[in-house]
Amino acid sequence: LKERFQIPSEKSIAVILLERYHDLLAGTTIILASLLVYFSLISVSLVVISSVILGALYLLIQSQRIFVSLYSNLSKIRFISKNLPEIGPSKSLSTLTSPKNMTKGWLFSILGWGIDALAVYVVFLALNVDFEYLLTSQIYFTSLGYGVLSLLPGGIGVNESVADFLLVRQGLDLSVASSLVILTRLCTVWFATILGIIFTRMVLKQKIHS
């Protein structure tokens, strides 16, 4: 974006950071809502961890002094500084984290992820597995959340293992649980990734030709 369209790094990075933040916030909110009906200790643990991370990140974003200090210290580490983007105190980040914009982002993220969870529920129904929408959402977002916390690309391995564990605990055979997990990944993460690549290429081509 910086090379092709001269969009400053601080603006694009601010958008990416807030997008990831709202993803985590929305997922945590949906799990929390499901816990009112279906209690799960492993999901509660994830909500606690996620809440701590979300709170710490929000305070970090809001405090420009801490943000600049952390960035300055990281830039002194050689192997990190090579890949560290050139950003300073970001006005874009401050604008995006205003109460009004944060509320809008949170609500839209819940809507988006809610639709994603609906797709997972439909996949479950296709294999004659009906855990109801809320429980299905809890299983999906709990496995997704632990995959994110593992810091592995796509949460590969962790995501599937947690999902299998939660599904087997609900009484499914491991073979059926594994099939559900694979189908879910294909219909959500990989499908969305492919669509994203296609539309990004289309938009970039239009920008270049215009």
Q: How far, in Å, CA of 64 to CA of 1, rounded?
A: 25
Which sign, positive or negative, has the C-alpha torsion 124, 125, 128, 134? positive
Residue 12 has pLDDT above 70, yes or no: no
| Per-domain residue ranges of the chain | 2-209
Residue 39 has pLDDT above 80, yes or no: yes
SS3 state of residue 34: helix
pLDDT digits (tens, 9 = 90+) for 77-135: 665 555 555 555 456 666 777 788 888 889 999 998 898 899 899 988 988 888 999 99
Please report the pLDDT score of residue 87 as a whole number: 53
Which sign, positive or negative, has the C-alpha torsion 119, 100, 90, 207? positive
For residue 139, name the pLDDT band (cuts at 50, 70, 90).
very high
106-107-109-110 Cα dihedral, nearest 10 degrees: 110
CB of 179 within 8 A of CB of 127? yes
SS3 state of residue 127: coil
Cα distances (angstroms) measured from residue 91 to each of 11, 136, 145, 171: 8, 39, 29, 51
Q: How far, in Å, CA of 107 to CA of 154, rounded?
A: 24
